[in-house]
Amino acid sequence: MVISVDRFRKILLLVAAASWMALSMAPMHALAATKAKTAKTTKKTVTAKTAPKRAVTASRKTKSTVAKAPSRKSVTVAAKQKGRVKVQMAAGKSGTLHKVAVQRKSASGAAVMRTAVAPRMSEGARLGLRGIDDPLELNSTVALVIDQDTNEVLFSKNDGAVLPIASLTKLMTGLVVAEAKLNMQEMITITQDDVDTYKGSSSRLAVGTTLSRGELMHLALMSSENRAAHALGRTHPAGLSEFVRLMNRKAAELGMRDTRYVEPTGLSSSNQSSARDLATLVSVAYQMPILRDLSTSPSYEVDLGRRTLHYNNSNGLIKNPSWDIGLQKTGYISEAGRCLVMQAKVAGRQLIMVFLDASGKWGRMQDAERVRRWVEVQTDARMVARPQG
């Protein structure tokens, strides 16, 4: 077959065009392949980064379970917080978390281990008292409401249970100091002996701070200052041991048979009592004007020369205008839960309220509000039902 010159030229042009297109498309195919490979690698990286987060979530859920479990277990939680952190918690036979070992990588990459004490289960929870319901659905494991004038019990819940009372202890500390009629103007210096060795808690009253006995009483009763309370017991003329003995002797005189004190702050969980005993203590303490005034003071400032410390009442209800509180004291350590005792006027009645082992930061305050509303409703209903004429 004979091909003309013109046709041959056309064929050559077509072949050249096809070759040029093939060469120009090669980089695009290579780029597409590179993108696909990159996407695959990125997917693996994202999966690898996401996995620890799921592991952390699962570990945190396990941590919650361990806190409630009766058997001895350990759980490791991995999290990112300025480097890798490794936490191990050991649960005791009662389900209580005791120590936390924290492993953190320093800037140099070396592992640093630190140990801290984890919150303990409250004694009320350990005894199973938190599983007991009540008509008012209180947060507190133990509650008691008494008419101060008639001794009528208006409400009670586990009022005979003997539990740690935390800083409610300071009410007896204040009572013993007040009855001793010590000089409230005497200056007392905070020493190393007043530093908390039970819980390792902090204080704004540094060692070397000097205040009057009256100021220390104010801080102990109003804002639950631990070093202030310890200094009050330590500087008793007979010494700290005798002061604690006087606390227990006073409890015995008042018929507080469920009560025991081992130190004047309440930091020790060995300071224990019942709601019935505490109601008795509140009634007696209310008779002392100094205890009424200091415990219900909304705030107080301590002048230390170069600086001034401002303290607020640990009971938020004090600043609530709808409350008429004559005496109060709060308390908290993990073994005791949130505690509160008060003397207050509600619906024209002088009441004594005791709340022990409340759950949640605001649980005890919420319980006091519920009881107040309940008493007001009961009083209104009684007035309506009263026969006329």
Told to judge if 167 belongs to the known catalytic residues of this protein, a careful annotator would answer yes
- The one catalytic residue among 122, 167, 223, 334: 167
Task: Please list, in sequence order, all residues whose beta carbon lies within 8 angstroms of the beta carbon of residue 353, skipping any fewer than 6 positions away.
Answer: 143, 144, 145, 340, 341, 342, 343, 344, 368, 371
Structure tokens at 357: 């082992």
Angle at 331 between CA 326 and CA 334, to 5 degrees: 160
Which pLDDT tens digits describe the chain residue by residue (389 residues)? Answer: 555 546 656 665 565 555 555 555 544 444 455 445 444 444 443 333 333 333 333 333 333 323 333 333 333 333 333 333 333 333 333 333 344 444 444 445 555 454 555 557 899 999 999 889 999 999 999 999 999 999 999 999 999 999 999 999 999 999 999 999 999 999 999 999 999 999 999 999 999 999 999 999 999 999 999 999 999 999 999 999 999 999 999 999 999 999 999 999 999 999 999 999 999 999 999 999 999 999 999 999 999 988 999 999 999 999 999 999 999 999 999 999 999 999 999 999 999 999 999 999 999 999 999 999 999 999 888 877 776 65
Q: Given 59, 84, 118, which residue is the final one in a domain?
A: 118
The residues that bridge with 342 in the sheet, in sequence order, are 328, 353
Same domain, 91 and 187: no
Q: How far apart are CA 277 and CA 119, in angstroms?
A: 27
- The one catalytic residue among 140, 157, 170, 268: 170
Same domain, 114 and 203: no
| Closest among 265, 254, 259 to 173, alpha carbons compared | 265
Same domain, 171 and 261: yes
Whether 58 maps to a domain, the answer reads: no
Whether 51 maps to a domain, the answer reads: no
Same domain, 188 and 334: yes
Same domain, 184 and 108: no
The residues that bridge with 343 in the sheet, in sequence order, are 327, 352
Whether 46 maps to a domain, the answer reads: no
Same domain, 248 and 172: yes
| Closest among 367, 357, 315, 364 to 335, alpha carbons compared | 357
Whether 319 maps to a domain, the answer reads: yes
Query: Buried (b) or exposed (e) across 192-221, using 16+ Cβ within 10 A?
Result: eebbeeeeeeebebeeebebebbbbbbbbb
Provide the whole-model pTM.
Answer: 0.71
- The one catalytic residue among 223, 224, 295, 334: 224
Whether 6 maps to a domain, the answer reads: no
Q: How far apart are CA 226 and CA 13, in angstroms?
A: 99
Cβ pair 313, 297 in contact under 8 A: yes
Same domain, 355 and 221: yes
Whether 376 maps to a domain, the answer reads: yes
**Count of domains forming the chain:** 2
Whether 111 maps to a domain, the answer reads: yes
Same domain, 291 and 346: yes
DSSP 260: B
Same domain, 77 and 160: no
Q: Given 59, 91, 118, which residue is the final one in a domain?
A: 118
Q: Can you list the positions of beta strands (E) in 138-191?
A: 140-147, 153-157, 163-164, 187-189
Told to judge if 37 belongs to the known catalytic residues of this protein, a careful annotator would answer no
Cβ pair 145, 342 in contact under 8 A: no
Same domain, 192 and 311: yes
Same domain, 346 and 240: yes
